[in-house]
Amino acid sequence: MNASTDRIERKILLHAPRAKVWRALADAESFGEWFGVRLQGQRFAPGQSAQGYITYPGYEHLLMKVVVQTMQPERLFSFHWHPYAVDPGRDYSHEAPTLVEFVLEEADGGTLLTVTESGFDRVPAERREEAFRMNSGGWDEQVKNIARYVG
């Protein structure tokens, strides 16, 4: 496993209390608002799946599916998903998913959020590089989105 190709990590200081950041992550509807996915009427719970259509222009036909792994209040929220699963004609279910982790820590001025997506080395070779590149750029935008949401 090569850390430089297997994982994406972003850190951001959010100028909001940890409880507010936790709600933005752990409440499915709130998560959907800043992340850009329709999750109305759903709840996140360990071992359970959640899904909704993407709301970003040009991607509305895509269904995002996650399986929640861990929920440690105000500390850790994680889920598995298939990265950059954008071909509606492809069955991604046989592929190993990546793990997305959101870690919250107290910090001067707010909450330090670390977002890590790992497991890209297990993505099929023919789509690994593009999935890594697209999700890397996606996490750049998503940390800005949650900062605006909790700001």
Tens of pLDDT, residues 11-22: 999 999 999 999
Give the list of residues 6+ apart from residue 45 with CB closer than 8 angstroms, or none: 68, 71
pTM, entire model = 0.95
- CA 148 to each of CA 1, 25, 35, 82: distance values in angstroms, whole numbers, following the listed order: 34, 13, 11, 26
pLDDT of residue 1 exceeding 60, the answer is no
Tens of pLDDT, residues 82-108: 999 999 889 999 999 999 999 999 999
Percent of the chain at pLDDT exceeding 70: 98
Tracing tokens 């690994």 back to the chain, one arrives at 128
Write the secondary structure of 62-102 as one string of H (helix), E (strand) and C (coil). CEEEEEEEEEECCCEEEEEECCCCCCCCCCCCCCCCEEEEE
Average pLDDT, the chain: 95
